[in-house]
């Protein structure tokens, strides 16, 4: 029988791997090492699966007040851990494992969660007799999820993907929103993401995919991907991207590929929003994706202003404070709690 100390060491390693795989900075080499760790001992896989089961319970109960408080503590610990010695990450990972086990105990004493809470949490449960599963985030939610093949995905707000794990390929469908994938290498099973009228095929790589009402965007962080047209875009040539390139396809126009700063393009996965010469209404729409408190552009003349800089996702007060300091714009809160932006009368002081 395995000793308590040995089991604790395995559990901490499983939690540490979970933290690393969910990180935006996880590399293909990290995922290869993780797969090797899984295969080294059946107890490793059992510990990792046990942890994922606990975290799934945590997700399903994410709207409970006690868990919201614990989530804030965990987020603070994660921010403080940035740049510190590796031991800090291990300690945090152990805390995650303990928290997952605690949730398993507490769940016996909680009343059933409302159905809306279950819908807004990320769902990783595989439907019975089905090879597909859905991952969904709510309007102000951002989540990182470890996938069964060792890959990982970070979902932006209001995002829905469906996954299908087949013997010969791994299929993902981005139905709405934005997702950043870090793909585990498997030459026998290509990783294919379908988004709008495009497919993105990768082996071992990291890329970001975004679907808007009239636009598909693919940003390559590392490795190589091939972007192919399907359906009405099937006649367009396949384009291969190299790192730091971004593919954009707007309805009715030929696709373009341009060089981009991938640190900025993928900053949303770390809770940051970058703007480079962005029209104010578009910047406001982006900030609104990350907060329950909405900003309203009530004056169409504000479209003339362009926003540059970095803001923390969800920090509406910081964003509004910056633009009202820099531009002649007033901000007031209405009866519904919305922050309403209007042009400041000439000569009037800022509010």
- Residue 109, phi then psi, degrees to nearest 5: -100, -5
Of 1 and 130, the one with more pLDDT: 1
Do residues 142 and 114 share a domain?
no
Question: Does a structural domain hold residue 348?
Answer: no
One-letter-per-residue 3-state SS of 303-345: HHCEEEEEEECCCHHHHHHHHHHHCCEEEEECCCCCEEEEECC
Measured distance CA(166)–CA(168) in Å, rounded: 6
Q: What is the pTM of this model?
A: 0.61
* pLDDT number for residue 163: 94
- Tell me the CATH number at 260: 2.60.120.1440
pLDDT digits (tens, 9 = 90+) for 210-235: 999 889 999 999 999 999 999 888 99
Task: Quickly list H helices, 23-179.
Answer: 28-40, 42-60, 65-81, 86-106, 115-120
pLDDT digits (tens, 9 = 90+) for 5-61: 788 888 888 888 877 776 656 676 777 788 888 888 888 888 887 877 666 555 555
In this structure, the answer to whether residues 216 and 228 fall within a common structural domain is yes
Mean pLDDT score of the chain, rounded to an integer? Answer: 79
Interatomic CA distance for residues 179 and 211, integer angstroms = 9
- Work out the pLDDT band at 339, boundaries 50, 70, 90: very high
How far is the C-alpha of 129 from the C-alpha of 231, rounded, in Å? Answer: 29
pLDDT of residue 107: 36
pLDDT tier at 351, thresholds 50, 70, 90: low
Residues 211 and 115 in one domain: no
Please identify, among 240, 270, 300, the residue that sits at the C-terminal boundary of a domain: 270
pLDDT for position 177: 94
Over residues 225-271, the pLDDT tens digits come to: 999 999 888 999 999 999 999 999 998 888 999 999 988 889 888 88
Cα–Cα distances (Å) from 183 to 156, 175, 200, 220, in that order, read 17, 19, 12, 12
Which of 248, 270, 292 marks a domain boundary? 270
Q: Check whether residue 10 and residue 73 sit in a common domain.
A: yes
Does residue 215 form part of some domain? yes
Instruction: Report the pLDDT value the prediction gives residue 349, as an integer from 0 to 100.
Output: 59
Structure tokens of 110?
A: 């909680």
Answer yes or no: do 10 and 55 share one domain.
yes
Sign of the C-alpha dihedral, residues 133, 50, 95, 29? Answer: negative
Write out the DSSP string of 74-90. Answer: HHHHHHHHTTS-HHHHH
For the chain, the domain total comes to: 3
Question: Which of 222, 238, 270 is the last residue in one of the domains?
Answer: 270
- 213 and 316 assigned to the same domain: no
Shared-domain flag, residues 134 and 180:
yes
Are 155 and 201 in the same domain? yes
- Owning domain of residue 36: 1-121
- CA distance to 92, 99, 181, per residue, from 15 (Å): 9, 11, 20
Q: What are phi and psi of 47, to 5 degrees?
A: -65, -40
Residue 57: per-residue pLDDT = 56
């Amino acid at each position: 029988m395995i000793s308590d100390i040995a089991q604790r060491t395995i559990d901490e390693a499983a939690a540490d791997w979970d933290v690393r795989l969910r990180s935006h900075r996880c590399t293909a080499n990290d995922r290869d090492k993780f797969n090797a760790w899984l295969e080294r001992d059946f107890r490793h896989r059992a510990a990792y699966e046990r942890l994922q089961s606990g975290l799934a319970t945590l997700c399903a109960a994410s709207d409970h007040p006690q868990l919201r408080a614990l989530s804030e503590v965990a987020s603070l610990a994660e921010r403080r851990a940035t740049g510190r010695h590796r031991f800090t990450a291990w300690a945090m990972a152990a805390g995650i494992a303990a928290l997952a086990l605690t949730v398993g105990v507490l769940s016996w004493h909680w009343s059933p969660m409302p159905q809306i809470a279950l819908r807004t949490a990320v769902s990783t449960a595989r439907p019975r007799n089905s090879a597909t599963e859905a991952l969904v985030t709510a309007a102000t939610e951002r989540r990182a999820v470890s996938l069964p093949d060792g890959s990982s995905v970070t979902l932006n707000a209001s995002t829905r993907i469906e996954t299908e794990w087949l013997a010969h390929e791994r299929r993902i469908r981005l139905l709405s929103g934005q997702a950043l994938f870090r793909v585990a290498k498997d030459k026998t099973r290509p990783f294919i993401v379908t988004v709008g009228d495009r497919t993105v095929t990768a082996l071992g790589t990291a890329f970001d995919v975004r679907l808007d009402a009239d636009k598909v965007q693919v940003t390559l962080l590392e490795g190589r991907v091939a972007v192919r047209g399907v359906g009405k875009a099937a006649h367009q040539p396949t384009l291969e991207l190299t790192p730091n390139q971004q593919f954009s396809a707007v309805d009715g126009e030929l696709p373009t590929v341009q060089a981009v700063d991938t640190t900025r393009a993928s900053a949303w996965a770390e809770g940051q929003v970058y703007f480079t010469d962005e029209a104010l209404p578009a910047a406001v729409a982006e900030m609104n994706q990350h907060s329950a408190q909405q900003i309203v552009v009530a004056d169409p003349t504000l479209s003339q202003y362009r926003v540059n800089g970095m803001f923390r996702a969800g920090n509406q007060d910081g964003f509004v404070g910056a633009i009202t300091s820099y531009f002649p714009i007033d901000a007031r809160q209405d009866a519904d709690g919305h922050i309403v932006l209007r042009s400041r009368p000439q000569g009037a002081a800022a509010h």
